[in-house]
Amino acid sequence: MSDSGVSRPDTTDAWADLRLTTQARIGLGRAGNSLPSHRVLEFRAAHAAARDAVHDPLDVESFVATIAGCGLGDPVVVTSKASSRGEYLRRPDLGRLPDDLSSVPSTNADIGIVLADGLSPRALVDHAEGLVLALKEALSERFSIAPPVIATQARVALGDHVAEALGVQTLVVAIGERPGLSVADSLGIYLTHRARPGCSDADRNCISNIHPPDGQSYATAARITASLVDGARRLGRSGVSLKDTSRAEITAATAPVIESA
């Protein structure tokens, strides 16, 4: 109640603290039978960002220069059989097939890294460099890594053809994930041991939501990838049979040693 005797609404935002812990749209409030105007505008802005992330093509020339600076060799660029961004979105099957792999060298390296634009080329622009550097730090001391391959208009399965051409044992595909109304620039990693054309999703392990500072960090994603590579090499396969044990390994390494009397 104000001094004038007129009741005023409680402006305390009970959701404020919870909203800091999630990117989900919670506690948006109400204006009559609708949302407050600023929440509607936020939604429309997020929707526009998601649409832009899907439709804006990758600036390949600039991206090649960025990845070349990571020190894993000169990147190779390949594309799928989808001739345009529009066809890529309409024909997922074409995004899984390479157009021409003649530029891909046969390396017989342990690890191959494919950087695919996927459904969010923006995710590569924002996060691929940091992720590649983290993967290099986590893997290069123990494994040989082939020069990176940049794949445009690409789906995950295109990487299987690239892995066969490279001759690598384990394939790491970092791809732009489908944008949502909370995140438009998230990267995902799909790891496949002994990748070959015809592999299914059951043959892969996925590490998603890579988009610091709000999502998973590059270092964490690289650590999980390294753990999965180790496990895949011991097991001889990846996918549903392979589990991430990186957190348990950290716990074991940092646990105090209790000596018996």
β-bridge partners, 112: 171
206 annotated binding-site participant: yes
Res. 253: pLDDT tops 70: no
156 annotated binding-site participant: yes
What's the rounded Cα separation, in Å, for the pair 94 and 91? 6
pLDDT for position 255:
53
Res. 11: pLDDT tops 60: no
pLDDT for position 1:
47
Domain 59-244 falls under CATH 3.40.50.300 = no
3-state secondary structure 107-164: CCCCEEEEEECCCCHHHHHHHHHHHHHHHHHHHCCCCCECCCEEEECCCCCHHHHHHH
The domains of the chain are located at 59-244
Q: At 32, is the pLDDT very low, low, confident or very high (cuts 50, 70, 90)?
A: confident
Q: Which residues contact 216 (CB under 8 A, 6 or more apart)?
A: 207, 208, 209, 210
pLDDT for position 10:
47
Q: What mean pLDDT is reported for the chain?
A: 89
pLDDT tens sequence across 54-96: 888 999 999 999 999 999 999 999 999 999 999 999 999 999 9
What's the rounded Cα separation, in Å, for the pair 2 and 13? 19
pLDDT tens sequence across 95-140: 999 999 999 999 999 999 999 999 999 999 999 999 999 999 999 9
What's the rounded Cα separation, in Å, for the pair 16 and 111? 45
**Cα separations in angstroms, 210 against 110, 137, 221:** 23, 17, 7
pLDDT for position 213:
92
What's the rounded Cα separation, in Å, for the pair 49 and 56? 10
Q: At 252, is the pLDDT very low, low, confident or very high (cuts 50, 70, 90)?
A: low
What's the rounded Cα separation, in Å, for the pair 115 and 124? 7
Local structure of residue 202 (DSSP, 8 states): G
pTM: 0.84
For 52-56, 185-189, 200-204, which range has the lowest pLDDT when averaged over its residues?
52-56
pLDDT tens sequence across 139-176: 999 999 999 999 999 999 999 999 999 999 999 999 99
